[in-house]
């Protein structure tokens, strides 16, 4: 089985003006494609594990043959993380934010909204904690809202392309804070990027991940 770059579920310019089309195009066709290619190249060396689900390989990364372990961790994680990332953003959120002006993005409702309020003491407190975590990632990595083993919600960060699945946590929301995700538009202003990212979060999709992660 060969991994393939999943189609972006919207146009490259669908998240404008918060995330620009050029960044989306390069991020998807160059960066994500490279993770896919490098993952396939690594697995070609070990066909005996190539058919195992990627989630399983990442969850048991220490059992992956040593000569491809780092490649599976970096490029398998990269493929997994980016495939997830595209789905938790969306044009509907971008449009709603644009019409709401400076009021900010949408907020989660339903079960996820309630769980976030319960876990963090309200959406504003959650948002602040998540932003702090994302801004504090040194170098390249990700900030995540995850569902842990006990079913609770936690914020975590991972370095490089490490996946929360490596710790047994199930991602509900994830933010790529590699410079390639924002440098063209926001340059060194990671906080500005994080602020804009809230405007494009697809909370309905995050809620689906939350429910499925039980
Ligand atoms: Mn990325």
- pLDDT grade for 149, boundaries at 50, 70 and 90: confident
Average pLDDT over residues 81-90: 98
Between the CA of 143 and the centroid of ligand 1 the distance, in Å, is 12
pLDDT of 29-79, one tens digit each? 999 999 999 999 999 999 999 999 999 999 999 999 999 999 999 999 999
Give me 210's structure tokens: 């939350």
What pLDDT does residue 102 have? Answer: 66
Average pLDDT over residues 168-195: 97
Between the CA of 121 and the centroid of ligand 1 the distance, in Å, is 30
SS3 24: helix
Between the CA of 14 and the centroid of ligand 1 the distance, in Å, is 17
Full set of structural domains in the chain with CATH: 21-87 (1.10.287.990), 91-212 (3.55.40.20)
What does the chain come to in residues? Answer: 214
pTM: 0.96
What pLDDT does residue 140 have? Answer: 98
pLDDT of 11-30, one tens digit each? 999 999 999 999 999 999 99
Q: Which residues surround ligand 1, an ion (CB under 5 A)?
A: 176, 178, 181
Between the CA of 118 and the centroid of ligand 1 the distance, in Å, is 30
pLDDT of 97-144, one tens digit each? 888 776 667 889 899 999 999 999 999 999 999 999 999 999 999 999
Between the CA of 24 and the centroid of ligand 1 the distance, in Å, is 10
Between the CA of 161 and the centroid of ligand 1 the distance, in Å, is 8
Between the CA of 42 and the centroid of ligand 1 the distance, in Å, is 20
Nearest Cα residue to 199 out of 107, 67, 74, 80: 107
SS3 83: helix
Answer whether 120's CB lies under 8 Å from 154's CB.
no
What pLDDT does residue 95 have? Answer: 87
Residue 24: count other Cβ atoms within 10 Å of its Cβ.
22
């Amino acid at each position: 089985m060969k991994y393939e770059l999943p189609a972006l579920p919207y146009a490259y310019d669908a998240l404008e003006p918060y995330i620009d089309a050029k960044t989306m195009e390069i991020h998807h066709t160059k960066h994500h494609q490279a993770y896919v290619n490098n993952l396939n190249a690594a697995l070609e060396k070990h066909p005996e594990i190539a058919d195992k689900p990627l989630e399983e390989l990442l969850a048991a990364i220490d059992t992956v043959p040593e000569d491809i372990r780092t490649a599976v961790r970096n490029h398998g994680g990269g493929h997994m993380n980016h495939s997830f990332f595209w789905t938790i953003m969306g044009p509907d959120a971008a449009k709603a934010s644009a019409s709401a002006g400076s009021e900010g993005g949408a907020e989660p409702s339903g079960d996820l909204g309630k769980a976030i309020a319960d876990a963090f003491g309200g959406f504003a407190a959650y948002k602040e904690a998540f932003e702090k975590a994302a801004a504090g990632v040194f170098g390249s990595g990700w900030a995540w809202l995850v569902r842990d083993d006990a079913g609770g919600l936690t914020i975590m960060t991972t370095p490089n392309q490490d996946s929360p699945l490596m710790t047994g946590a199930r991602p509900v929301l994830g933010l790529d804070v590699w410079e390639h995700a924002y440098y063209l538009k926001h340059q060194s202003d990671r906080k500005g990027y994080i602020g804009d990212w809230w405007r494009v979060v697809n909370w309905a999709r995050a809620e689906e991940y939350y429910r499925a992660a039980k």
